[in-house]
Amino acid sequence: MIFFKKKHDKKLLLGIDLGTTYSLAATVREKSVILLLDKKKRYLLPSVVHYKKNKISVGWKALENITEDPTNTISSVKRLLGRSINFVKKKFPILPYLIEKDIHEGIFFRTNFGNITPIDVSSHILKKLKKRAVLLFNQEIDASVITVPAYFNDFQKKETKKAAVLSGINLIRLLNEPTAAAVAYGLQKLKKGIVLVYDLGGGTFDVSILNLNKGIFEVLATSGDSNLGGDDFDDALAKNIYKKSNLQNRCNDFFQTSLLQIAKSTKLKLTKYEKVEVHFFDWKGYITREEFNLIIIDFIKKTLFICSDLLEEINLSVEQIKEVIMVGGSTRIPLVHTEVSKFFKKDLLKSINPDQVVAIGAAMHVDMLFSSKNNTKNKVILLDVMPLSLGIEVMGGFVEKIIFRNTSLPISKTKEFTTYKDNQTSILIHIVQGERELVKDCISLSRFVLRDIKPQKAGLVRILVTFQVDTDGLIHVKILENYSSKEKKIIIDNNITLKNLNISQILKDSLKHSKDDYYFRVKEEKKIECVRTLEILNKSLKKHLKLISKKELKKIKYTQEKLQKSIQEDDYFSMKNNLQKLDEVSKNFFSLQLKNAIDCSSIKNILKENI
């Protein structure tokens, strides 16, 4: 079989769209993009995996089992990837699978095949695509790019990467889906100008605004909702059919799944027809397009709110958008099309099949990555941004933003940390992602402790922590202690509690609650100041009691107690008042103490302390 050993002069480079409902792969051959087909000439692979006792089936085959064996047939797993048990319970209360929580608050499915994580399911889908490629081209995959929703957080991206590693497809890069779509259109049709990508898929909504300029794709800003998509339309339609059919008390998994399947197919038919006949058990009825439009209009409005917020954020008007690119299967729905077109006041770009455009763009990108070196004239590069702000927890449960959203990647920022108490030997650093001011409202990415700090006076230690975000949007943390210049590298890993918020909610909440947050913040900061003042004063009093009269001491003690009480009562106004009073009554004591310190120490000592 010499033929098989023949060395291929063309590398096998894959662009993979790992979608919520369907996945597909594409590659570039002789300057044109080829979609990878299966034996039956289908390019789509349903993102469904069926787990039998000793057998795993993926795609169309698995889809056949979805109504018969719903418990062991996992679909739309992308919505569960990188999510916590709490999130899943809240957002998807009626999933037909047996779901349990793992030790990190994540989830796994109990199937006939065994325990399976969302990463496993994703990797099984990827393996199936890999098989297609190897079969078609008779060579191993040299490199691949997988697309992810731009609005995926660090967890979701890293889980995708893990799935890629498990499936052995030589992943070299994650690419944001809207950016991939822009590449597909940009390289084929557009040359210059600002474009907006409206990407409404099965499970996620993404919007990105890009500036195209002679081979440079610069993402200006990106936003979205990692839990809004065609599946929501199905759910809403299913509820509607359920209500109309009056078939109650049949809430088993089989019933649920078939209802959802009927809703799905009705939705698809409604893109073509004005009126669709629906059979569901012994019920028969009609759903009109008008009826369907009423059911989904609120979801579409939500996507347009996200668009208008994003435009405002970067000071662009609708008129400045040259083209609007439509991506994702759900943009086939006529109402989505008309509403988006109305909002942007223009015809929409949809000449490339919305199911294929992301994979095509990914294939072009991976091809670019390998050919751009030899071809300096037609270089193409992507400048992407950070979708969510990165911050750390500071005292009082607040977030201090380190890297703001929509910052160009790669980027890094170094922050100095110090000790807050004398002889403190460790510092806790808590990294979060999100736009809100309070830690509890953001996504908690990592918590780590800096240990073995040399005991010193408070504030003397300097520890430099560098937060670096690479072109994939993944976060790395580097720590440099000023004295030892020991370098320690931490890569944020998915081994901590997952929080249950999605991003647009975070953004929206950030808008809605900014005032509450602000007031709360002011109060908390005052509280911290009070506690600190009390602490310092107590410490000094203990040491230098003899400096003041009994009468003065009594006055100070009295005011201290009053301040303590207002802290306990959480009363901002009285905290402010009493702190002011305490300052006044203790002023004399502090100046005496300072004088005493200067008298007692030589210049040398003072200089030393100030260093």
Partner 1 sequence: MNYFTLFDLPRKFNIDKKLLSQNFYKLQLKFHPDLFINDSESKKKIILEKSIQINKGYKTLKNFLNRAIYFLCLNGYEVKKETLLLKNNDFLIRYFSLYEQLDNLKENNFNKKELNNLEQIIQKKIIYCKKKIELEFEKTRYKKVIKIISELLFFEKIKDVLKKEYNIYLRQIN
Residue ranges in contact with partner 1 by CB under 8 A: 172-173, 213-216, 301, 305, 309, 312, 369-370, 372-373, 379, 381-383, 407-412, 468, 470-471, 511-512, 514
Nearer to partner 1, 136 or 190 (CB): 190
Active site residue 17: yes
Query: How many CB atoms lie under 10 A from the CB of residue 325?
Result: 27
From the list 69, 120, 154, 199, the catalytic residue is: 199
Nearer to partner 1, 273 or 573 (CB): 573
Nearer to partner 1, 372 or 596 (CB): 372
From the list 17, 231, 232, 481, the catalytic residue is: 17
Task: Say if residues 492 and 443 touch (Cβ distance below 8 Å).
Answer: no
Task: Indicate the Cα dihedral angle 544, 545, 546, 552, nearest 10°.
Answer: 120
Distance CA 489, CA 298 (A): 46
Residue 525 Cβ vs partner 1, minimum distance, rounded to whole Å: 11
Nearer to partner 1, 107 or 409 (CB): 409
Residue 378 Cβ vs partner 1, minimum distance, rounded to whole Å: 11
Residue 213 Cβ vs partner 1, minimum distance, rounded to whole Å: 7
Nearer to partner 1, 379 or 454 (CB): 379
* CA 316 vs CA 165, 220, 321, 496, 574: distances in Å: 40, 11, 8, 39, 46
Minimal CA–CA distance to 412: which of 351, 484, 339, 464? Answer: 464
Nearer to partner 1, 373 or 551 (CB): 373
Total length of the chain: 611
Task: Say if residues 220 and 194 touch (Cβ distance below 8 Å).
Answer: yes
From the list 120, 177, 225, 339, the catalytic residue is: 177
From the list 69, 78, 355, 517, the catalytic residue is: 78
147 φ, ψ to 5°?
Answer: -95, 145
Residue 253 Cβ vs partner 1, minimum distance, rounded to whole Å: 38
Minimal CA–CA distance to 176: which of 143, 210, 142, 215? Answer: 210
Nearer to partner 1, 113 or 572 (CB): 572
Q: Which two tokens stand for residue 193?
A: 């100008």
Positive or negative, the CA dihedral 36, 38, 42, 48 is negative
Strand 205-213, strand 192-200: pairing = antiparallel
Strand 22-29, strand 114-116: pairing = unpaired
* CA 249 vs CA 98, 256, 471, 497: distances in Å: 21, 11, 52, 37
Residue 114 Cβ vs partner 1, minimum distance, rounded to whole Å: 37
Task: Say if residues 473 and 467 touch (Cβ distance below 8 Å).
Answer: no
Residue 530 Cβ vs partner 1, minimum distance, rounded to whole Å: 18
Residue 407 Cβ vs partner 1, minimum distance, rounded to whole Å: 7
Distance CA 121, CA 107 (A): 12
Active site residue 38: no
The catalytic residue positions are 17, 78, 177, 199
